[in-house]
Homo-oligomer: A and B are copies of this chain.
Amino acid sequence: MTSANTAILQIICPDQAGLVAKIADFIHQHQGNIVDLGQHTDPVSKTFLMRIEWELKSFKLKKSDLKKYLKTWEKQYQMDIKLFFRSQKLKLGILVSKYPHCLEDLLMRQSLGELSVKIPVIISNHPDSSKVAKYYGIPYQQVSVEEKNKVQAEAKILKILKKHQVDFVVLARYMQILSQDFIAHYPNQIINIHHSFLPAFKGGKPYHQAYSRGVKIIGATSHYVTAELDNGPIIEQRVARVSHRHGVEDLIRLGRDQERLALAEAVRLHSEHRILAYENKTVVFE
């Protein structure tokens, strides 16, 4: 429940006494009305993490001056600060391969107003999803990827993303492994959906792994993509009960729902700037 015309600060820094007061007071001094404040101190690493959102209506500080202040804080408190404005919807670029269920789910949710993002482009290494892209009126770019042209393909994809000024990327069951170079362009801004309850069943064919292990619960995990495969900061996980009666096909079917939910929730949280990533973990201020 937050009004549209607000500013949001994400702050990560070494813990110090008085930070909450300092920040809240600063916003209040300039007639900013705080509508949401989430704060957490990691007891192990003594890291201070905060998300604060306030109304701009009555806020007396010009954006440029605000940014100046934040610069001084960054030095003074060794803060890692991110500033966002609700009015500026993030631009989401979706990468997809053959399985369309996550893509279709995201498009459906956005059309229902569940996700406050713009989707300027969908990129795929297959033609399959061009029809649904067209239905939703979103440009669809096919970039086929083979072993031999991986580098060029990534360069092409990167160019398309930059051209559409994409803020963050979702791998909606995109079946190509991205290079470190590629990932470096979007640190903690590439969200992947892995079709298992990580860290169980990393890598390929997780549902087959789950079936042969005979687990009683399957799951899906959305996480930020890092250099290490399936090992980035976990954003959201969903699970479903299964039994001996469920074959691999059933696990895949039941898993699809968990994939949809875990990915859609991650996109929602990211687009509302509710996720702070640090030490290969996430702090989610819901």
Contact = CB atoms under 8 A, between A and B. Distances in A.
A75 interface: no
Nearest to A104: B108
A215 to B, nearest CB: 6
A151 interface: no
B217 A239 contact: yes
A117 B42 CA distance: 26
A31 interface: yes
A283 B39 CA distance: 17
A143 interface: no
A239 B240 CA distance: 10
Interface residue SS majority, chain A: mixed
Interface in A33-48: 33-37, 39-44
Contact of A135 (B37, B135, B217): B135
Interface in A214-246: 214-217, 219, 233-237, 239, 241, 243-246
B28 A21 contact: yes
Contacts of A219: 217
Interface residues of A, number: 67
A114 interface: yes
B114 A253 contact: yes
Given A1-B247, A197-B217, A244-B281, 18 more contacts: A1-B43, A17-B31, A18-B28, A18-B33, A20-B37, A21-B25, A24-B25, A25-B25, A44-B247, A114-B253, A114-B256, A135-B135, A200-B200, A214-B280, A217-B219, A241-B241, A244-B283, A244-B284
Interface of A: 1, 17-18, 20-22, 24-25, 27-29, 31, 33-37, 39-44, 58, 100-101, 104-105, 108, 112, 114, 135, 197-201, 213-217, 219, 233-237, 239, 241, 243-247, 249-250, 253, 256-257, 261, 280-284, 286
